[in-house]
Copies of this chain bind each other. A is one copy, B any other.
Amino acid sequence: MATIKDVAKKANVSIATVSRILNHKEGYTEETRKKVLQTIEELGYHPNGVARGLISKRTNTIGVLVPSISSMIVSEMVSGIENVAHQTGTSVIVCHTESNGKKTMQYLHLLKEKQVDGIIFTSEILKNEYYEFLNKFNIPVVLLSSESINLPVPHVKVDDRLAAYHATEYLIKQGHSKIGMVSGNRQDMIAGLPRIEGFKMAMEMNQVPLSESLIVSGRGFSFKDGSEAFEKLISAHPELTAVFAASDEMALGIISKAHKMNIDIPGRLSVIGYDNLAISEMSIPPLTTVAQPMLKMGESAGEMIMNMINTGTVPENCIVSHKIVERESVKKIN
């Protein structure tokens, strides 16, 4: 395999010159540049990124930690990250952590050993342990679709509380006043609690009757969780005309279960979801839902981490805006 030395020898110059040419520094004539470039061509030489990384302390690689939640929700964000990373010749190592925290620490070690330039934490809370590790080694971090209350780590996310507020308000504006919520895990400080709060807030602000029994939460945010939680909800509150689901998958679970129970959607029951996954336009009926711009969020996170790496500064948090995409699962009533 040809190295920079081979090129230098064959072109009758020093390796320094070759390096300079490759890196577009100055200090050579157009003539030698041509000559070197040509022998590079002849030799089929490609620079060795590992050697470069060793001395430059930059690997042009970032790590992304994602939990093994719905692959659908994650893959778009990762695409966004890759989009901006690849523009600068940076590549992305994705690590799927199980909810199990031990694996996360392992991956952190792995990524540190690989000398990644930065790490993006996705949809996962940043434990102190993780932060200390990263901080100790000066590895830039950004949180994507997550946040940290106490640690000085920048994040990009949508305002879940506000989005849930809007979703609920949307239902109310369509004339609904008997509204329930199928929530995700209440313990989840990122996607669980805030959405519940937003729901409650919208109900209260609009003087819609609200009781705790109108909110039933699942174990997670999955299809099955949604389906099961909905069953409880609807049997306790058969009068409901609308439901806010904390995720699209849950909304699909609701639709599926409702179908089995012969509850027409949106005829008798309206459903609004949360996420705007690709599948939400494939459902019957197509799902009205609040859209998180996953791709854009990924891109923002990518840009943030790149900035941190390049400038060493800590950027501002980025709250991206959600919007409600209206399809056919919510009916206007009255």
Contacts and interface: CB of A to CB of B under 8 A. Distances in A.
A282 B114 contact: no
A54 interface: yes
Nearest to A57: B50
Contacts of A110: 86, 89, 91
A256 interface: yes
B53 A82 contact: no
A282 B286 CA distance: 13
A48 B115 CA distance: 7
A145 interface: no
A71 interface: yes
A293 interface: no
A276 interface: no
Prevailing SS type, chain A contact patch: helix
A282 B284 contact: no
A255 interface: yes
Contacts of A47: 113
A27 B130 CA distance: 35
Interface string A267-296: 000000000001101111010000000000
A126 to B, nearest CB: 20
Interface string A50-74: 1101100001110000001011101
A332 B69 CA distance: 36
Contact of A93 (B79, B91, B137, B281): B91
Interface of A: 1, 44, 46-51, 53-54, 59-61, 68, 70-72, 74-76, 78-79, 82, 86, 89, 91-96, 109-115, 136-137, 223, 249, 252-253, 255-256, 259, 278-279, 281-284, 286
27 contacts: A1-B137, A46-B112, A46-B113, A46-B137, A47-B113, A48-B113, A48-B115, A50-B115, A54-B54, A60-B114, A68-B79, A71-B278, A72-B72, A74-B75, A82-B94, A86-B95, A91-B93, A91-B110, A91-B114, A92-B93, A223-B281, A249-B282, A256-B282, A279-B282, A282-B283, A283-B283, A284-B284
